[in-house]
Amino acid sequence: MAIQFACKNCDAMIEVDEDMAGRAVTCPYCERVTTAPDEPVETTRPVLEAPPLAPQTVASIQAVRESAVRRYGVFGAICAVFAAACLLTAVFILLPIMLKAPSEMREDPEQMQRFLIEKLSGSPMQGVPFAAAVGMVFFSLAGLTLGVISLTQSGGKDWAGWIATIVAGGLVLMFCGSLALAASGFGPAGP
């Protein structure tokens, strides 16, 4: 069985075999010679507690946290505005083309989609609706995420978080709704 004791020079805990009891041993930490006790010594070290935080420190930590939460809300609102701008860009590009379509094509989503592809192919604006759709999805998801984080961390007190959540959440619902309609056969991608 081993004997544990504290070094008298450096106060580090040393463990030696029982046959070294009462003999001089070298501390592996401070490399000084100390005497091992005849039997194990119960040594308890005092638990060091951190000093309590000053009220100014607690206030500054809270201020930093509130600043970060507000920043999330503002960034979320900016992302929501970018998502809405992407949606409006796609609408302003596609709407004039759709209004020029013959009335019989407006009733059939598949024919309307072919008409749009035909009119946009070869034009400099060909990739803009796709890029706008991707931008809308990305920025609306980012805005919704940042808005929800801001609201949950601020307890619902951040106005920018509310704006981000409402605008970006509405765009996400609109996009998911159009995907659900297309998947069920009611949209332009349906059968």
Model confidence at 40, pLDDT cuts 50, 70, 90, reads: low
Taking only the tens place, the pLDDT of each residue in 64-87 is: 888 888 899 999 999 999 999 999
Domain map of the chain by residue range?
2-35, 69-183
CA distance 87 to 77: 15
Please check the confidence at residue 12 and state whether its pLDDT lies above 80: yes
The rounded mean pLDDT for the chain is: 83
CA distance 92 to 60: 48
pTM: 0.59
pLDDT above 90: percentage of residues in the chain: 28
Cβ(139)–Cβ(82) below 8 Å: yes
Query: Stretch 47-62: mean pLDDT, rounded?
Result: 72
Query: Stretch 114-121: mean pLDDT, rounded?
Result: 82
Check residue 78 and give its pLDDT: 96
To the question of domain 2-35 being in CATH 2.20.70, the answer is yes
Query: Stretch 20-28: mean pLDDT, rounded?
Result: 87
The larger pLDDT score, comparing residue 149 to residue 103, is at: 149
Please check the confidence at residue 191 and state whether its pLDDT lies above 60: no
The larger pLDDT score, comparing residue 16 to residue 146, is at: 146
The larger pLDDT score, comparing residue 48 to residue 15, is at: 15
CA distance 191 to 187: 9
Please check the confidence at residue 44 and state whether its pLDDT lies above 70: no
The larger pLDDT score, comparing residue 138 to residue 46, is at: 138
Check residue 109 and give its pLDDT: 73
Cβ atoms within 10 Å of 139's Cβ, excluding its own: 23
